Chains A and B, each alone.
Chain A
Amino acid sequence: MWRILKQIAKNGIRSEAPPECSDELRVEGERIQHALLEILGQALSIRQVDAGSCNGCELEINALNNPYHNIEGLGIRFVASPRHADMLLVTGPVSRHMEQALRRTYDATPDPKLVVAVGDCGCDGGIFGESYASCGRVANVIPVDVAVPGCPPPPIEIVRGILTAVQRCRTLPG
């Protein structure tokens, strides 16, 4: 036990300031939490759906949970069911075999919902394109609010995409 405590004490808190939103200057964690509360009235719950990626994007999405990015500290968490989610974070070109599963996941997510497509493949089909086995970009299958390019996009860009989608939600009527 003392080893664990020593390791924790030695390393301290490594969380870094979150990135600026696309339309604002650098915001602090507290302001993001505040904005999330103001816009959504709650913490942001995300259901991640891999619709056919190479798993590179998943590695970077997983990195959002590391102590540096500490996305839970901002009031954003990944949930196990689309029924608990406010946002779908979708990667990959959508494979034909995942098309139905993605649509069903989208339908199971309660309104109002946000969709963020992550990675070059999610944005435009990437190197896989459209074929007998690939439907191409995520927007070909479900409506997308924000698309984050990159192969894979670094974690900070993914956070930026998520926050931009939430901000956009505020500016939309209704």
Chain B
Amino acid sequence: MQIYGFSLDCERLPAPLPIWRATVRAETWQVIARALSENGGRLLALWGSDRTEGAAGGLVISAAYSGRDGLLWIDLPLAERAATYPDLLPFFPCAGRLQRAAADLLGVVAEGVCDRRPWLDHGAWPENYRPLRRDQSPRAAGPHREVTDYAFVRVEGDGVHEIPVGPVHAGIIEPGHFRFSVVGEKVQRLEQRLGYKHKGIEKRFTELSPLQAHRLAGRISGDSTVAYTWAYCMALESLAGCQIAARASWLRALLLERERVANHLGDLGALGNDAAFAFGLAQFSRLREDWLRLSRDALGHRLLMDLVVPGGVTADVDQATAARLADQCDRIEREVRELHQVYDEHPGLQDRFLTTGRVSPDLAARLGLTGLAGRASGQAADLRSDWPWPPYDQLDVKVATQHNGDVAARVSVRFDELLESLRLIRVLLSGLPEGPTRSELRLPNKVAFGAGWVEGWRGEIFVALEYDGQQGANCIRRCHCHDPSWQNWPVLEHAVMGNIVPDFPLINKSFNLSYSGHDL
């Protein structure tokens, strides 16, 4: 069939969003990448898998693109073991780290790339151990080793000095290393080293039962637990042909929007605090605590973990609870509007926010900035409105966008999205359809592929799932989870250039990217 102007032998996965899967040959791999990059398509994810089964199968490299026809998942089977594949870096800058990660985890390399530094592998795993290869066990591979140093790019010149920060940061933050090259107070270059939190999630998935693994998905990035479990469950339900009940999808959206509100409340306070406005932190952290407490009382968990499950949800809302949740939306909205005005009218705060950490819409488009940060730089993409899957097809989500791409724009998008989510929650509560909250999910007795694609609060979360149900195996062969932070971390390096070092925490917080979701 024709997709993105190509005639590809595509299969549409039975997911609620348009997701297509095709297998291509090496020569087509780059042709598709070029055509998509020229027509506004984006590289969403890139990952490698080992599909060896006895003498059959082999290594496969996969890419997921998003664009006007939805999501396109492309598989490229590699000819021999230790095989290579054509480089995507010339078309998509974000491919760089994704390809380095695939090299670390599976030992497949892109042809002709200059940067061959390991990314997720810090040298501590057993020698030559490639965790996603099926023929390797870490025990056989040898002992663990000490972590190795990383070859940061050196900036030379008069008065340049380096500031190394991390992995243990000076606050309650996740670990990662930032290497600043500065002249005076001005940042010439920032280089990140991530991967400190790599804890083998993708390998761990293959050891869990498909009906239990949503708990692991919910712990890829704790702040996005609803988005990840929904994406995982969507993938599992799509390969099992399970249609979830209307009430279940409405409740999932309720949870997803509550997660968005909780995170935006937290970030808006922290952003005030990072600009020395402690009042903002006190007020917003109070609202966030109110929000989390009602989540616990009404839904059972402060951060909403493990409420989305394969086939539906475990939480339900009766009429009295719905009234309480809606009341709280009204109250929070009143307070947020008041605080919005305080933020807007505070000259000291605006002085720190405006023009700081700027990513122009043009740069954002070239580097593939996505999600909330992308919307603050004119990239008006939001799955809830672009591909409104149930129940978003009945909600008419208003996408919040800004064009300045600075900290102020990212603050502004958060305020707008927060208020929009409060509206959505009230609509969801008033229109909750009757019916069951969980449907039966029957796993197929064959090899099957499923995918999930959900707009989390940070951006789009994608899960690619390969399931093996042959001869009662009922196991996960591969589960790749993609966090939007992969796209946005490299853009943060650009956003910081030319800013002063003390503004880095503020700029970093305005992106608020996930270390855990990236490192896996």
Residues of chain A whose beta carbon lies under 8 Å from any beta carbon of chain B = 3-4, 7-8, 11, 14, 48-63, 65-69, 78, 80-82, 92-93, 95-101, 105, 126-129, 131-134, 151-152, 154
Contacts and interface: CB of A to CB of B under 8 A. Distances in A.
Interface stretch (B28-36, B81-89, B214-222, B235-243): B214-222
Among A51, A52, A68, A78, max chain B CB count under 10 A is at: A52
B174 interface: yes
B196 A97 contact: yes
Interface in B294-321: 296, 302-303, 305
Contact of B216 (A51, A60, A127): A127
B154 interface: no
Nearest to B286: A67
A55 B223 contact: yes
B122 interface: yes
Contacts of A97: 122, 124, 147, 167, 195-198
B169 to A, nearest CB: 8
B175 A101 contact: yes
Chain B: interface size category: 35 or more
B222 A152 contact: yes
Contacts of B196: 52, 95, 97-98, 101
10 contacts: A8-B279, A52-B197, A52-B199, A54-B225, A59-B303, A62-B285, A92-B199, A127-B204, A131-B203, A151-B219
B131 A133 contact: yes
A107 B354 CA distance: 42
Interface in B359-391: none
Contacts of B167: 97-98, 101
B203 A132 contact: yes
B410 interface: no
A100 B124 CA distance: 10
A58 B266 contact: no
Nearest to B269: A66
Given A66-B285, A132-B125, A133-B131, A93 B199 contact: yes
Interface of B: 122, 124-126, 129, 131, 138, 144, 146-147, 167-168, 170-175, 195-201, 203-204, 215-216, 219-223, 225, 266, 279, 281-283, 285-286, 288-289, 292, 296, 302-303, 305, 338-339, 341-342, 345, 514-516, 519
> Nearest 3 CB-CB pairs, A to B?
A56-B222, A133-B200, A80-B170
Contacts of A66: 282, 285-286, 288-289
B302 A60 contact: yes
Nearest to A105: B168
A47 B519 CA distance: 23
B286 A14 contact: yes
B198 A95 contact: yes
B514 A55 contact: yes
A56 to B, nearest CB: 3
Contacts of A96: 122, 124-125, 144, 147, 198
A106 B445 CA distance: 50
Given A95-B198, A131-B200, A49 B122 contact: no
Nearest to B342: A3
A128 B339 contact: no
Contacts of B221: 54-55
B279 A4 contact: yes
B168 A133 contact: no
A54 B126 contact: no
Contacts of B124: 96-97, 99
A54 B338 contact: no
A99 B221 CA distance: 20
Nearest to B138: A132
Contacts of B345: 3
A62 B303 CA distance: 13
Contacts of A56: 219, 222-223, 225, 303, 305
Nearest to A61: B172
A128 to B, nearest CB: 5
Contact of A54 (B219, B266, B283, B286): B219
A3 B138 contact: no
